Chain A
Amino acid sequence: MPNVTVDGKQVEVPDGVTILWAARKAGVNIPTYCYYPWFPPQGNCRICLVEVEGIGKLQIGCQTPIRDGMVVNTNNERVFKARRGVMEFLLLHHPLDCPICDQAGECDLQDYGYKYGFPVGRTRYPRRTFPKTDYGEKIAKEMNRCIHCRRCIRLSEDYMGVSHIGMLNRGDHAEVGSYIEAAIPSGWAGNVIDVCPVGALTDKKMRFSARVWDLEHVPARLKESAMKDPVKCKNGSEAMLGLYRGKIYRVTARMDEYRVMKSMICDEARFEHYNLEDWIIEEDVDITTPVKGGPRTAKELEEAARKELGMNGDGEAAAPEAETEPETEAVTEDSPDSGDETAKAE
């Protein structure tokens, strides 16, 4: 196992991991925007630049693989200047409307802005703005706040199987958007809200109704009797309720300390059950440990649910896709995940 020194701390890491991985193991926090463990690294936000001794340029932590004996510095002036440069660039066009932004309080841009940001704006140009686009009833899109990390695009392509959103245009007018202005055609579309590190994609149902720091977050899962579409909700409702004075204000996926989703939740659980009676509150549930076998795509989650519900592909057609996928039996080898057992125990 290779030995890596991060900020003077020696850690032993498995082969082939990245600097970011090693740093997190050493207890050193490297800021990230575009990095999300669910996707292959894209390296376009450049906030995770670190200094590797022996390499002239700064390297990105999220992609650079470690070598034995590598010495990484994340806490010196050079790295700090680079990060502050990136922060300044990201805030160049950011509207800084945190007081009315629903993401405020759990926003990566806010957090790192406080830590690395330049204390004043050094431009006097008008900020770049984009025309408003409508993403349907559930998702509020505010392109002006976007930092172009592309997590939403990668999530919808890789995990929801829809290529509905993508990058348009080029240079500093590049925009996350779609040619057809419509809701993302997936029963799992709401997850883009959870992967967005800033307030570009927020929950339209919760909009302007509560501040996140007022909410009490409670892990819960949907009652089977309340499910309208069990194929999606069976595995897609291990959620986190945002409660305020006993009322549900929003439902999100469960996230770990790096705000990484544990598993996707379906749109029904996220947007349609604001009644506490529909939910089973789970007291002692492990939120931070990732699901065994890695994150599952929407298709995998649905197929696993069909198997658990005893539905063959051509059986009771609870989901419209079931008719077109007769080979479901062969594919479902997945074991039911741990969240299920806790629910049964209750």
Chain B
Amino acid sequence: MNVVGMGEQMALEKIVFKNLDIPEMTELKTYEEHGGYKQWKKVMQDKVDRTELIDTVKASGLRGRGGAGFPTGLKWSFVPQDNPKPKYLLCNADESEPGTFKDREILEKTPHQLIEGVLLGAYAIGANTAYIYLRGEFVKGWKMVEHALAQAREAGYIGKNVMGSGFDVEVWTHRGAGAYICGEETAMINSLEGLRGEPRLKPPFPAVEGFYRSPTIVNNVETLATVPKIIENGPEWYTQWGTEKSRGTKLWSVCGHVERPGVYEVPLGYPMKKFFEEELGGCWKGRKLKGVIPGGSSVPFMLPDEFLDCDMDYENIAAHGSMLGSGGMIVFDETACLMEAATVLATFYAHESCGQCTPCREGCGWVLRQLKDIESGQPQPMAKEILFDVFDQIFGNTICPLGDSIVMPIKAMMEKVPEEFEYYIREGKSMVTGKTRLAHLAKPDKPENYRRGEAFKYPRAEDFTTDFDKVVHNVERGPEPMFTKLQHEESTEKGDSPYAREQKK
């Protein structure tokens, strides 16, 4: 029963997140019946050593499930215990990536498992306060977590001197106001502090100086919800799944053109082909697969060959030219126009760019306008080449990875399926659907062939010398002759400019 809302029997069974399939798991009673809070009780009553907990998580090889895949136990061990400042554990439930909806399931269906993980994590790093930063749109998830927190508080799992252990812990929820960027850990810290949700410069890393300049650990919902099961069954139990570097299981949220979309728990290293064909049932309505974005919208696009060839773990997907990311799989079949998909993605990132650093602030808007222009049928001359230049200027030059996120999927699409983009630029309509989706954005007062500038050549980045002394000289000469000559040729000598044509009529 892996599929949300669909009752079909699946071969893959949930392991760590069995609770997702059990009804009424939001109630404390049900959760306790299924062995819930047993680990928390044990840790509190036996006063288990912190380092022991961290070592268990380290040995299990659990890696951060939010996207970066940083080993969780190692992250916890970075917290300086000699620092007199209070420590904080932040749970990142600001899941806003297009295509990713695994954390929502946990928040709505088994919030107690998350809370137990938060409590164990807080104890392991020595934090007395933990925050769950929820995406603002998760109203149901927030209500469920608040409900579960109230029950846990009443049962004495949260509060002062928990179960007589002398350990105080409090868990709060905080709802975001709708910014994607607040899913970035330092932006989330800023947002929690009441500042603008903007990423901070690293170093210092949050583990040393984070929330209120105190040592802070930020973990994903899935990561923390996995911790109780690891403590319960031991690291050996968890390491039986996965590959050598990617241990355990991972939740995948699959959407797009597949037969059975939904949230699946898959052992890492599982063959993608098997998963795609047996679990997901292949492409929707038996159509042909065009490509997949495997890890939430901000990772590179994969072609069917690469996709079906890879295994579902961090390293293997990376070796096939993409990233596992947050595990939000978006499947495109042959009826999907990648040009349109690229514009939709760019719209999201241009809207969500926080406006702090230059390349992302200006670049995302530029990419979006460029793509919209192509889709309206009136692309700029050299639209594709300039787009690639803009990608290069954004990638790797920003404070946080949001700038890279707009570049990676769109650039990979344009590199791997260039013919679709070239067709759109050349013909002004989609190769797949035969339509111009944004024709209403075309400027009617512009001549019909707004692309007459195709003969015109914008300079590319490599056209200019990079010698500092000569550049100033270059500017003085300028590219002016190029402009005048081409426009002159077009309008008078050839006589085929739209204006000239109109006059002839």
Contact = CB atoms under 8 A, between A and B. Distances in A.
B193 to A, nearest CB: 15
B365 interface: yes
Nearest to A128: B365
13 contacts: A45-B358, A46-B358, A46-B397, A49-B397, A76-B466, A80-B468, A81-B392, A118-B459, A119-B479, A123-B366, A148-B358, A170-B354, A172-B353
B243 interface: no
B468 A45 contact: no
Given A45-B357, A170-B353, A119 B464 contact: yes
B475 interface: yes
A125 B355 contact: no
Contact of A86 (B353, B354, B393, B468): B393
B335 interface: no
B393 A120 contact: no
Interface in A104-123: 114-120, 122-123
Given A75-B468, A80-B468, A118-B459, 10 more contacts: A47-B358, A49-B397, A81-B461, A81-B466, A85-B397, A86-B358, A117-B475, A123-B369, A125-B369, A171-B364
A281 B458 CA distance: 53
Given A89-B362, A170-B353, A174-B361, A43 B369 contact: no
A58 interface: yes
B90 interface: no
Counting chain A CB atoms within 10 Å of each CB, which of B179, B352, B361 scores highest?
Answer: B361
B188 to A, nearest CB: 16
B356 A44 contact: yes
Residues of B contacting A: mostly: helix
A90 interface: yes
B478 A80 contact: no
A30 interface: no
B298 to A, nearest CB: 16
A92 B362 contact: yes
B201 interface: yes
Contacts of B352: 170-171
Interface in B358-395: 358-359, 361-366, 369, 380, 386, 389, 392-394
Interface residues on A, range: 35 or more
A87 to B, nearest CB: 9
Given A46-B357, A81-B392, A120 B459 contact: yes
Interface in B434-477: 458-459, 461, 464, 466, 468, 471-472, 474-475
A88 B393 contact: yes
Nearest to B453: A124
B158 interface: no
A344 interface: no
A245 interface: no
